[in-house]
Structure 1
Amino acid sequence: MAEKRLLLERADSPEAEKLEVHMTRRKSILQVIQHRHLSASCRVFALRRKSVLALVVAFVFFYFLIGRPDWVNVLDLDALHADNFLPVHHQSTAVDGFLVYSNSCRIQEVDPYKPEVMRHFKRMKYTPCQKLPPLTQVKFDEKSQKYNLRIDGEASTKYPKGHQLHCCYMVVERINESEVNYTKCHVFKGSTELPNSAEGIIVKCTSNNVQIYINGHATVPVKEAVQQRLQAASEKDTQENVVDTGKEDAKTRPLSVLMLGIDSISRVNLIRAMPKTAQYLYDNDWFELAGYNKVDDNTFPNIMAVTTGYNLGNAHKACSPLKVGGLDKCRFIWKLYQEHGYVTAYAEDAVKINTFNYLKKGFVHPPTDYYLRPYLTAAEKLLDRTVVMGLPHCLGYETAAEHVYDYAMEFTRRYLNDTYFGFFWTNTHSHSDISQTSSMDDYMVEFLQKLVLQGTMENSIVVFFSDHGLRFGPTRVTWSGHLEERLPAIFFWLPEHLRKSHPEFVQALQVNKNRLTTPYDLHLTIKHILSLSGRVDYESLGPAPDCPQCQTLLRPVPLQRSCSDVSIADHWCTCWAYESVSSSSQEIRKLGKRVVTYLNTFVAEFRNGTYAKLCVPLSLHKIRSAFRAHPNALDPEDVKTYRLIFVTLPNNGWYEATVRHNRTDESVVVTGSVSRLNVYSGESECMKDFAAKKYCYCRQKKG
């Protein structure tokens, strides 16, 4: 299957013939190896002798006549194991080998199964967090409009209860972004009704004075202010009959919006690591945007572009995340929805690295009507916890990500017949490794199927997306890793009735699949969806502040779009091909030194020199590789664009920079920011600002 899939994926490429030869030889090699598992008869022994000879001949033929292919290490059976290659059938290219193809932008397709990446990838299995099922459950009662907490009778038979079981629950109360309080532990037997003030609880059970159970439950209780807002908006819709459905006599509820985000998963790694999820999206008429290009380095600026339309610099000016109360001033997209009669929710796992909290001040007030952070703060402190690659994995009876997905499911179920905006983001199964997220593949398909069965998809536009690809690690230094990091996954779901009433939206998304698109476009699309409610005019919602030429994705974007048109710096732009050049040339060496000087100056002058004395100046150690962009019609003839991968001392830091070199006046411009390619935790703890942290090597580390 792996060989067949690889040939299908690359059948039209110039390398197809060579690849077919490689696959044929590899298949022969694997068949030879498999013969070793037959019975030890003389006939098999003879076959083995022939197999060894065939193996040697095949290897010699490869190595000397064709050239040693990247995958040739026949003893590395894990890398060749068919389970690692699960085919995904789709058609995402504009023309052969390109996701976007125009005079202004040509984004190359990336082979998900390229050997330089697959040697580091291994599919992982999902492992339940506990052997026993949870002892307690919570369920919303429609009649009482409250949640009931109850002991699961069937599950209780599997716990060592002794003579008597004693259970109680504590309500989690938010103090601020990093602190929570707990009420006294309320004792209950069998079941109990939870107060509507409880948005998260921790349950404990003991037997014979020994704790045998601790778990947590997040809830979406009734809030009077929310109910009044929803009712007022609904009554106004009915009175004015202004819902835009494309039919004058049609009356329908305004569309809800559900955003499901996964950190650090590229479009390509979604196909590689979550093939069942990707195939589900392709097979069920979700709309892919294959040319979706990030606009900055890490999560915060890319999510700010989506939720506010600001770039990093202007976000700091308008609503600085470094000041207490700064982020509360931002006009986040969920605030716009809230102001126009929607109920809102935001949830994100891994509280330490949350988008608006890592090296930032977070929110003084909860940003949305329902906010999972207080509950997860308590869960990470009190529940049984495992850690994988530095992030929480299991929290009690579920993974941290599952707590977010459960919350999303409950929020959308509770407000199924109302108008809502929900933003749900997970980090823990994807942030640090290309393989780990594969363990959630089956779960994610089941989650999406449950949304369908629940009825969520009937009146909700759903955005399944990411912020960027993997930013660190051995795969990142490859050409595949370079492109993957800049091309995150994004898919749209449109309800059936919207497809029928607005076929132009369908046509636009089909066209935009192979156009250059950005997070700023997504920001304007979410505004456009809000305007479809009839509660606000689209034009009055304003443009994306930092991308005047960006637009809603429910209309065709121009084919002749360039990165400069949509506020993407050269460093993040995937539109132009590069060719390898000598990394030891005088010009490249000089450019490398100029970039290191730029880094040192950046740190020295950062925040008015606040951190200058904390960090050791860096020096250029080696330029690992250098590339020159193919001629760009938009650039002057004497300006050349280069991409450098280099190493600095004393931090052994691997960096990637894109520079524009004017050969007439010898000026050098570093575009975007300089990317850090290897992990730097533990060496820059003296630097508390995320913008300069990746360039700092703390003085106490010297020597």
Structure 2
Amino acid sequence: MASDLSNILEDEDSGPTLYFVDSSKCKIPYVDPFDAAATAIYKPLVFESCSNDTGLVTPIYNEAIKHYVLHINETLASQILNSSNIEYNCYYQEVVRNAKKDGYDVKEAKYFSQDFVVPRHVQGLVSTCHRLGNASHILQADAFTLIQYAEPSSKNQSSQDPSRRKPSVIMFGIDNLSRINLRRTMPKVYNFLTRKGWYEMQGYNKIGDNTFPNLMAILTGHSLDSAKDNICDFKKRGCMDKYPFVWNLFREAGYLTALAEDEPSISTFNYVKPGFVEQPTDYYQRPSQKAFETLLPQWKCPECTMKYCIGRRITSSYIYDFGSEFVRRYVDERPIWGLFWTNSFSHDNYRMPSKMEDFVLQYLLDFEADGVYEQSIVIFLSDHGNRYGQLLDLPSGFLENRLPTMFIYLPPWFRAHYPEYTRALQQNKRRLTSNYDLYNTLVHLIELGNPEKTPRWPRASSCPKCHSLFEVADEERSCEDAGIPEHYCTCVPFKTVSAKWTERIAPLVIRNINGYLEERNLTGICANLTLHYIHRTEMKIDLDKNYHEESPFVEVAVYRTKFKVKQGSADFEATVSFNNATETVEVEMPSISRVSSYEKTAKCVENKIDRLYCICLSSL
């Protein structure tokens, strides 16, 4: 927690405060990203470029004919060949989606000449130039996703009448980035996001452990259990196509839609899941991304666990370029919705965003140059903060994990025409909010200009009390009201307890984990877990109690315990109800968090929850 007024949060209405949210039902403490404990472990990283090479082939969009043309830099070709007399050829291979294997196919090579007009059906391609007569002497290979022009229908024509105007919605997501770590690692980006028109949801609290449940709540309004029980099991092929994803609602309302995510092996809708049978959005980048990382060389920086470069470019640039092309093509013409999500530089290392600060900032500035902020609502978000590693060992680790980045930008025309929505968003900056509220906000935006008085689409199914962020949230809101499970709730403070008797809690949690593995018939491949040591145990302090007074002994209370097991040196954290008299704990299995990486120790199981708790015997 901040210790002096120079570092604490400034409330626009009432001056300094020590809390992001401060009410009788919710107190989320403010965290100084640069306090002594964080500064002691954090050192920023330096950006590295993938290549200094200029592009030999560049797809250029010709506005006059509304087609891409492939332009060859002939001067560069001569420089590479060290001669202007040596001839060369260039060809491209089209990448197409293969739905049967959640992958791609690459079509036969087609040679092209200068300023070749690309057919509109080509949405992804790999280009290669080689010396004439010697296909193995490659001058350069590159890859591109194209946003080919689609003729507008009467349904998606844009109107400049504010009462009928449909705002475009651009969602710019970075995995594993708390609002605290955003300020620490990307201060320039943070400063950009605090300019006029931007609103930071400072009480925005995640509702699930990892990416999938948090994005599902944002994009469908369902929890995983609700979606599975009421619609279908997402592990079954074809199920994902049946979910009421918000992009389907936007498309029904006349929007063009786009979806892109890097690191296909861990992408949100495909990791240990079958993904989509039908292409989910009008523009879908996954097949191209999978092809590019297979067909082009890769490179990892020394700090990287994921691909830093694919070919000549940074992995995430394929996603951001795809998004930039999408908004550039349509933002002035018709309403669009797009989600552009990156994992590659943030998923495994909390320091990596510092390496990419200027890189990300440049795309935000490019959006400005392209007029995006004049037309569109922009949402800059994350799914959660760090789930394991050094940040979780800080006193603020519980908050780092549970308070993801959430900024919303409203364009000038929207603020002018909907002042009541703007005021509500301003008030909600310091109120408790969740993923379900964001889902309701997206549905609210779809319905703007709808002459019907009643909403056409349902609000978040898994949170009856949640509402649009354009409606003022109750100041006395609780986590239960916002659909936030207790394990992820940051509203009620916890305090470290060092009494000897608290050492009985962690072994009981481990007993529950082992019981789960036994029920799942996994004891033959997963280790029986035993306690190595306890990091810390904290007791929940009710809001009507004085946090700074000595914690009284109580028979039943809620505790949060973090511990390490001997097998695989894995770390876990759990929020439990512990009965001191009966020496029993009450805890739901999915809410026991694995807070150390399980990528290498859980390969023997596929189920996402099983992977949290299984330490494969083969890995020991």
TM-score (norm 2): 0.92
Structure 2 equivalent of residue 151 of structure 1 = 72
Classify 1:11/1:624 alpha carbon distance in 2 versus 1 (closer, same or farther; 3 Å). Answer: closer
The reply to whether residue 129 of structure 1 matches residue 26 of structure 2 is no
1:381 is paired with a residue whose SS is helix
Report the alpha carbon displacement of residue 666 of structure 1 after superposing the two structures with TM: 5.3
**What percentage of aligned pairs have identical amino acids?**
33
Equivalent of residue 289 in structure 1, options 197, 201, 204:
201
Contact 2:447–2:456 under 8 Å retained in 1: no
1:391 is paired with a residue whose SS is coil
The reply to whether residue 495 of structure 1 matches residue 411 of structure 2 is yes
Structure 2 equivalent of residue 683 of structure 1 = 601
Contact 1:121–1:434 under 8 Å retained in 2: no
Contact 1:263–1:425 under 8 Å retained in 2: yes
**Aligned partners of 1:358, 1:390: CA distance in 2, in Å?**
17
Contact 2:77–2:139 under 8 Å retained in 1: no
Q: Which has the higher helix share?
A: 1
Report the alpha carbon displacement of residue 11 of structure 1 after superposing the two structures with TM: 3.0
Report the alpha carbon displacement of residue 589 of structure 1 after superposing the two structures with TM: 2.4
Equivalent of residue 504 in structure 2, options 586, 590, 606:
590
Query: Structure 1: any 5+ residue segments left out of the alignment?
Result: 1-5, 17-87, 247-251
Equivalent of residue 628 in structure 1, options 527, 539, 549:
539
User: Which shifted more, 693-702 or 411-420?
Assistant: 693-702
The reply to whether residue 171 of structure 1 matches residue 89 of structure 2 is no
The reply to whether residue 397 of structure 1 matches residue 390 of structure 2 is no
- 1:501 is matched by which residue type in structure 2? H
2:532 is paired with a residue whose SS is strand
The reply to whether residue 97 of structure 1 matches residue 90 of structure 2 is no
Structure 2 equivalent of residue 45 of structure 1 = none
User: Which shifted more, 278-287 or 520-529?
Assistant: 278-287
Equivalent of residue 203 in structure 1, options 123, 127, 148:
127
**Aligned partners of 1:300, 1:153: CA distance in 2, in Å?**
46
**Aligned partners of 2:15, 2:454: CA distance in 1, in Å?**
31
Equivalent of residue 5 in structure 2, options 12, 36, 41:
12
- 2:98 is matched by which residue type in structure 1? I
* CA offsets 1:442-475 (integer angstroms, 9 cap, x no match): 1222211211221122221110000001112122
| Number of equivalences | 601
Residue correspondence of structure 1 range 364-403 to structure 2 within 5 A: 364-388=277-301, 389-403=304-318
Equivalent of residue 601 in structure 1, options 500, 515, 522:
515
**Aligned partners of 1:535, 1:411: CA distance in 2, in Å?**
29
* CA offsets 1:495-527 (integer angstroms, 9 cap, x no match): 101101111112111111111110000000000
Equivalent of residue 221 in structure 1, options 140, 143, 148:
148
Report the alpha carbon displacement of residue 539 of structure 1 after superposing the two structures with TM: 2.5
Alignment root-mean-square deviation, CA: 2.5
2:561 is paired with a residue whose SS is strand
Equivalent of residue 258 in structure 1, options 156, 162, 170:
170
1:283 is paired with a residue whose SS is coil
**Aligned partners of 2:318, 2:454: CA distance in 1, in Å?**
35
Query: Structure 2: any 5+ residue segments left out of the alignment?
Result: 546-553
Classify 1:369/1:659 alpha carbon distance in 2 versus 1 (closer, same or farther; 3 Å). Answer: same
Report the alpha carbon displacement of residue 409 of structure 1 after superposing the two structures with TM: 0.6
Report the alpha carbon displacement of residue 178 of structure 1 after superposing the two structures with TM: 3.8
Contact 1:469–1:486 under 8 Å retained in 2: yes
User: Which shifted more, 167-176 or 280-289?
Assistant: 280-289
Report the alpha carbon displacement of residue 92 of structure 1 after superposing the two structures with TM: 11
Classify 1:665/1:535 alpha carbon distance in 2 versus 1 (closer, same or farther; 3 Å). Answer: farther
User: Which shifted more, 412-421 or 298-307?
Assistant: 412-421
Structure 1 equivalent of residue 550 of structure 2 = none
Report the alpha carbon displacement of residue 638 of structure 1 after superposing the two structures with TM: 5.5
Contact 2:156–2:255 under 8 Å retained in 1: no
Structure 1 equivalent of residue 109 of structure 2 = 185
Structure 2 equivalent of residue 359 of structure 1 = 272
Report the alpha carbon displacement of residue 432 of structure 1 after superposing the two structures with TM: 1.0
The reply to whether residue 552 of structure 1 matches residue 468 of structure 2 is yes
- 1:196 is matched by which residue type in structure 2? R
* CA offsets 1:287-320 (integer angstroms, 9 cap, x no match): 0001100001000000000000111222333243
**Aligned partners of 1:633, 1:193: CA distance in 2, in Å?**
70
Report the alpha carbon displacement of residue 330 of structure 1 after superposing the two structures with TM: 0.4
User: Which shifted more, 333-342 or 473-482?
Assistant: 473-482
**Aligned partners of 2:11, 2:351: CA distance in 1, in Å?**
22
Classify 1:433/1:536 alpha carbon distance in 2 versus 1 (closer, same or farther; 3 Å). Answer: farther
Equivalent of residue 39 in structure 2, options 113, 118, 123:
118
User: Which shifted more, 327-336 or 381-390?
Assistant: 381-390
**Aligned partners of 1:564, 1:347: CA distance in 2, in Å?**
32
- 2:140 is matched by which residue type in structure 1? Y
Report the alpha carbon displacement of residue 356 of structure 1 after superposing the two structures with TM: 0.6
**Aligned partners of 1:536, 1:192: CA distance in 2, in Å?**
49
Residue correspondence of structure 1 range 1-80 to structure 2 within 5 A: 10-12=3-5
1:338 is paired with a residue whose SS is helix
Structure 2 equivalent of residue 450 of structure 1 = 366
Report the alpha carbon displacement of residue 390 of structure 1 after superposing the two structures with TM: 2.7
- 1:383 is matched by which residue type in structure 2? L
TM-score (norm 1): 0.81
User: Which shifted more, 420-429 or 388-397?
Assistant: 388-397
**Aligned partners of 1:599, 1:397: CA distance in 2, in Å?**
45
Report the alpha carbon displacement of residue 199 of structure 1 after superposing the two structures with TM: 0.5
* CA offsets 1:611-638 (integer angstroms, 9 cap, x no match): 343212212222221111112569xx85
Residue correspondence of structure 1 range 602-617 to structure 2 within 5 A: 602-606=516-520, 609=521, 611-617=522-528
Classify 1:160/1:105 alpha carbon distance in 2 versus 1 (closer, same or farther; 3 Å). Answer: same
Report the alpha carbon displacement of residue 157 of structure 1 after superposing the two structures with TM: 4.9
Classify 1:536/1:622 alpha carbon distance in 2 versus 1 (closer, same or farther; 3 Å). Answer: farther
- 1:654 is matched by which residue type in structure 2? D
Equivalent of residue 575 in structure 2, options 653, 658, 678:
658
- 1:604 is matched by which residue type in structure 2? E
1:462 is paired with a residue whose SS is strand
**Aligned partners of 2:276, 2:469: CA distance in 1, in Å?**
30
The reply to whether residue 413 of structure 1 matches residue 406 of structure 2 is no
Structure 2 equivalent of residue 644 of structure 1 = 561
- 1:137 is matched by which residue type in structure 2? T
Residue correspondence of structure 1 range 573-584 to structure 2 within 5 A: 573-582=489-498
1:565 is paired with a residue whose SS is coil
Contact 1:92–1:513 under 8 Å retained in 2: no
Contact 1:620–1:646 under 8 Å retained in 2: yes
User: Which shifted more, 612-621 or 200-209?
Assistant: 612-621
Contact 2:197–2:411 under 8 Å retained in 1: no
Contact 2:10–2:17 under 8 Å retained in 1: no
**Aligned partners of 1:133, 1:90: CA distance in 2, in Å?**
48
**Aligned partners of 2:72, 2:475: CA distance in 1, in Å?**
59
Runs (4+) off by over 3 Å? 88-95, 153-158, 535-538, 662-667
Report the alpha carbon displacement of residue 376 of structure 1 after superposing the two structures with TM: 0.5
* CA offsets 1:115-168 (integer angstroms, 9 cap, x no match): 333333222222221121111111222332221111124544542265112110
- 2:196 is matched by which residue type in structure 1? N
Which has the greater radius of gyration?
Answer: 1
Report the alpha carbon displacement of residue 680 of structure 1 after superposing the two structures with TM: 2.2
Structure 1 equivalent of residue 189 of structure 2 = 277
1:271 is paired with a residue whose SS is helix
1:341 is paired with a residue whose SS is coil
Classify 1:466/1:310 alpha carbon distance in 2 versus 1 (closer, same or farther; 3 Å). Answer: same
Contact 1:90–1:282 under 8 Å retained in 2: no
Report the alpha carbon displacement of residue 681 of structure 1 after superposing the two structures with TM: 2.2
* CA offsets 1:307-365 (integer angstroms, 9 cap, x no match): 00111222333243211111111010001111121110000001111011111111111
